[in-house]
Amino acid sequence: MSLTSELVTWTWEKKCLQAVESLKKNGFSARYCTTGAEAADYILAEAGEARSVGFGGSMSIKDLAVEPLLLEKGKELLNHGAPGLVPEERLEIMRRQLTCDLFLSGTNALTLSGALVNIDAIGNRVGSMFFGPRKVIVVAGRNKLVDGDIPTAIRRVKDWASPPNARRLNYKTPCAETGFCCDCTSPERICRVISVLERKPKFTDLHVLVVNEELGL
């Protein structure tokens, strides 16, 4: 590792650790992971008792490549993004994710003060983060950290997450073409449900892994 890379990693480590401490103060179970591989190992260990595992459509979780490993362990995978599903099947899987044993998701933004900020088109992902699953694990790569307030975090999502996600999902929105948010009125607008978790939801066993690698969008 070059000196530059070493110093960058050190700087991000300090920010990740600050976010972890803030999350803990806000009632979350939070853990610092030096690598995505460490986060994947944590997820696989926590999935031991789970029979069903829901996937919220997160690129961060996809980057960890835990899905085939969970399948090998005999888990029922509830992934509404699996190929070949018709719309009715996708909706049914989304509903089942609300009561799965373990729900896995990323977050669009994580403030250094310990708030999780997300924007959904449907609300299924954030709904499963709030209440229902027996356990929820949220993975936040260092690129999701925001040194600012909630409006700054929302701006981060709209500037850096929503446009590429709209393009990935083949939505016909202005941002999917230009790469810039214009607060559109498109029928396929991706920014419809904005959620902020300032404290851990009262009855949700929610764990946050803050990873010193870039994960997701």
Torsion of CA 53, 68, 104, 204, to 10 degrees: 40
Is the pTM value of this prediction over 0.85?
A: yes
Quote the pLDDT of residue 164: 97
CA 9 and chain centroid, separation? 21
Q: With contact defined as beta carbons under 8 Å apart, do 22 and 47 qualify?
A: no
Residue 68 has what pLDDT?
Answer: 97
Which two structure tokens, joined as six digits, stand for 134? 């027996």
CA distance 101 to 105: 13
Q: What domains does the chain contain, in order, with CATH numbers?
A: 3-147+197-211 (3.40.50.10420)
Token digits for 116? Answer: 């999780």
Q: Does position 1 have pLDDT exceeding 90, yes or no?
A: no
Chain segment 101-120, per-residue pLDDT in tens: 999 999 999 999 999 999 99
Q: How many CA atoms lie within 13 A of 192 on its CB side?
A: 14
The DSSP bridge partners found for residue 103 are 54, 136
